[in-house]
Structure formats: structure tokens, C-alpha cells
């Protein structure tokens, strides 16, 4: 059995997602219109199980009410005990009532951590202003609090921010960090990838950071196994198989391929000797899955 360590679900009738309801607005990954519909657990399971995926990590996805989204995911987990699922919720780490928010989320058995996006893409970040999070002195305190609560932080950013982020994360060695989407190498030119790999090295040298190879189509819609080979090899070289894991980023990456194609393009670049770590062990340990949930 494999674990998909990065995917999303949404029910537009159960939870409000402003970006999914906003029609005619392109995002950094392109036109979201094909995925501005319900994407429920049943469809995700059908998409993924053909590739032996049988457990997963749900990542928050911009709900207007993060608590409502978290409860909805908890309900899915409760109704599907044969599919181990844990979740990453949204919480603003700079808010004064952070402790109460975190403790509330921790009443849900599936919660394993928080994602607060720092960077998506250069152009979109200029509009959203998410980069300013790094200049807020309360951000590091929030990261430390997560570590104290044994929760992780999902780090989504672009290479241009890695130097600054590395400096901050070194202050929070007890908080496990999952780097989303291989650090978002948005510039796929030779120069861009060299810059990304050099900056990625800064993060790889911090022991409490693991790397998710996911979201590879968002900056390269026509991606292939060959086109991302260098990205995957660099991640494995810098982090090692015990700190790398698989994520589909579905249904966002369904804009660029079906699940089988996505899985096999990545699988083709992972040496067989690393499969157990990459597709299962790293995520199992990082997200504290329970052994009794699995029939291994």
C-alpha cells in the first residue's frame, strides 16, 4: 500500500471555497474552471487506488471557514476507517488567539499540522502579499508552538524565499516541516533550475525538513517523466529517500494529467530501492499514522 501525502477534497455544497466560486479568474497554475466542481472522496479513491494508494494526507485548500473544512474531513475519515486519512488545516500563525485555535483543531483526531502558504508564484504573490508573513515576528512563535503541540508545518513557497525561510526555520528545530511541491521550481529554464537547486540545498541542510515531490505540473502543464527527471533526482540527492515522499496534488494536478499518468511519471524516476521509503515510510512516519490502521 502507498500513501498520497498531498491531495485535496472539496464539496462546494458543504464548505465555501472563495477561489473555487470565483469564475473566470486564472491562477498561477492556469485556468481552474475544470476543477471548480465537487471533488469528493469517492472520486479521489477511484483515481488513486489503481496505483496501490490506500491512505492519504488531506491538505487544506482555502476554505472560508477552516474549522468547517476540518470537521468535514474528519467526518470523511470517520466514515472510511479502511482508508487511513490525516489532515493539515489552515491556521494563521500570527494571530493573538493562536493557542486556542490550535487546541480546538487538536480535538479532531485526524489533525497533524498546519499549512499557511508563504509563496505560490512571483506574480500571484505580488497580489496576495503572502510573503510578508516572513516579516512578522509572531510567525516564528507560531512555528515553535506547533512543535510544542507535536504538529508539523506545511511549507509552500518559491525558491526566491528559501534563504530567508531557512534562517527562520533554524530557530524552530523541534517543528517538523514538510516542503510542498519540491519547493515550487517555477522557472524551468536551465538558469531557473540551477537557482532552485542551489536555494533548495539551504533547506535540505536543515534536518527537520522533509520534501514532498508533488505539484510538478503547475508550472509545466505539458510535463513528462523526462522533463521532471532532474527535479526529482535533485530532491532525492539533497534530502535522501527517508526525507522525500510522494504527493499527487489532486485534483489541481488533474488539469495536467490523470492520476495514473502522474503516478507513473514520478515512479519512473524513483529507483526501486527507494520505493518503500518514498511511497510509504516517509509519509507514515512524518504524519504519525497508526500501524493498526493498516493491513500490511
Type and span of the H or E element at 111: strand 111-115
The pLDDT of residue 294 is 78
Largest CA distance in the chain: 48
Rounded to a whole number of angstroms, the distance between the first and last alpha carbons of the chain is 7
**Rounded Cα distance, 44 and 251, in Å:** 8
**Rounded Cα distance, 163 and 119, in Å:** 13
The pLDDT of residue 296 is 52
**Rounded Cα distance, 268 and 214, in Å:** 14
Coil, helix or strand for 123? helix
**Rounded Cα distance, 160 and 206, in Å:** 17
**Rounded Cα distance, 213 and 231, in Å:** 9
pTM value surpassing 0.95: yes
Domains of the chain: 2-290 (3.20.20.140)
Convert the pLDDT of each residue in 173-228 to its tens digit.
999 999 999 999 999 999 999 999 999 999 999 999 999 999 999 999 999 999 99
Convert the pLDDT of each residue in 272-287 to its tens digit.
999 999 999 999 999 9
Q: Average pLDDT for residues 142-146, to the nearest whole number?
A: 97
Q: Is the pLDDT of residue 119 over 90?
A: yes
Coil, helix or strand for 289? coil
The pLDDT of residue 292 is 81
- Residue 261 CA from chain centroid, whole number: 19
CA dist 270 to 7, 47, 184, 260, Å? 20, 21, 19, 15
Q: Is the pLDDT of residue 257 over 60?
A: yes
The pLDDT of residue 169 is 96
263 and 279 in contact (C-beta within 8 Å)?
no
- Residue 197 CA from chain centroid, whole number: 19
Q: What is the mean pLDDT of the chain?
A: 96
Assign 108 a pLDDT band (cuts: 50, 70, 90): very high
Amino acid at each position: 500500500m502507498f500513501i498520497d501525502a498531498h491531495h485535496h477534497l472539496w464539496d462546494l455544497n458543504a464548505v465555501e471555497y472563495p477561489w473555487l466560486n470565483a469564475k473566470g479568474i486564472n491562477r498561477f497554475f492556469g485556468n481552474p474552471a475544470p476543477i471548480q466542481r465537487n471533488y469528493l472522496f469517492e472520486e479521489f479513491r477511484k483515481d488513486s487506488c489503481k496505483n496501490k494508494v490506500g491512505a492519504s494526507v488531506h491538505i487544506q485548500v482555502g476554505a472560508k471557514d477552516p474549522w468547517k473544512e476540518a470537521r468535514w474531513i474528519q467526518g470523511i475519515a470517520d466514515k472510511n476507517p479502511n482508508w487511513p486519512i490525516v489532515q493539515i488545516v489552515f491556521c494563521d500563525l500570527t494571530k493573538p488567539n493562536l493557542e486556542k485555535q490550535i487546541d480546538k483543531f487538536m480535538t479532531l483526531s485526524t489533525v497533524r499540522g498546519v499549512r499557511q502558504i508563504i509563496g505560490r508564484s512571483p506574480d500571484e504573490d505580488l497580489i496576495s502579499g503572502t510573503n510578508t508573513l516572513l516579516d512578522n515576528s509572531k510567525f516564528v512563535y507560531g512555528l515553535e508552538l506547533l512543535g510544542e503541540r507535536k504538529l508539523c508545518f506545511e511549507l509552500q513557497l518559491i525558491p526566491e524565499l528559501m534563504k530567508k525561510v531557512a534562517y527562520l526555520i533554524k530557530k524552530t528545530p523541534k517543528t517538523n516541516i514538510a516542503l510542498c511541491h519540491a519547493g515550487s521550481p517555477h522557472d524551468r529554464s536551465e538558469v531557473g533550475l540551477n537557482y532552485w537547486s542551489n536555494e533548495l540545498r539551504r533547506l535540505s541542510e536543515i534536518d527537520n525538513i522533509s520534501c514532498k515531490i508533488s505539484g510538478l505540473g503547475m508550472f509545466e502543464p505539458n510535463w513528462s517523466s523526462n522533463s521532471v527527471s532532474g527535479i526529482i533526482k535533485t530532491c532525492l540527492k539533497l534530502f535522501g529517500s527517508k526525507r522525500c515522499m510522494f504527493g499527487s496534488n489532486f485534483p489541481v494536478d488533474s488539469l495536467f494529467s490523470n492520476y495514473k499518468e502522474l503516478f507513473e511519471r514520478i515512479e519512473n524516476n524513483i529507483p526501486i530501492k527507494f520505493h518503500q521509503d518514498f511511497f510509504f515510510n516517509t509519509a507514515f512516519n512524518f504524519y504519525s499514522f497508526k500501524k493498526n490502521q493498516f493491513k500490511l
